Amino acid sequence: MSTFTTFSVVPMPKASSSDPVIKRRQKLLYQLEQQRALAVNPRHVIEAKKWVRQDDGSRRLVERQRTVRRWWVMDADGQCYLTIRYGAKIVELEKGKTAILVGEIANLPSIINAVAAAVENGEFDTLAKAAYGSPRFKRKSL
Q: What confidence tens digit (pLDDT) does each residue in 43-99 have?
A: 999 999 999 999 999 999 999 999 999 999 999 998 999 999 988 888 888 888 999
Is 86 domain-assigned?
yes
Give the burial class of 124: count Cβ atoms within 10 A of its Cβ; 0-12 exposed, 13-18 middle, 19 or more buried: buried
Residue 120: give the domain boundaries: 19-43+69-132
Is 51 domain-assigned?
no
Q: What's the number of domains the chain is made of? A: 1
Alpha carbon separation from 13 to 8, 9, 19, 44 (Å, rounded): 14, 12, 12, 40
Query: Structure pTM?
Result: 0.71
Q: Provide the strand spans (E) within 54-129.
A: 59-67, 72-74, 80-83, 85-86, 89-90, 99-103
Contact present, 48 and 66 (Cβ < 8 Å): yes
Is 127 domain-assigned?
yes
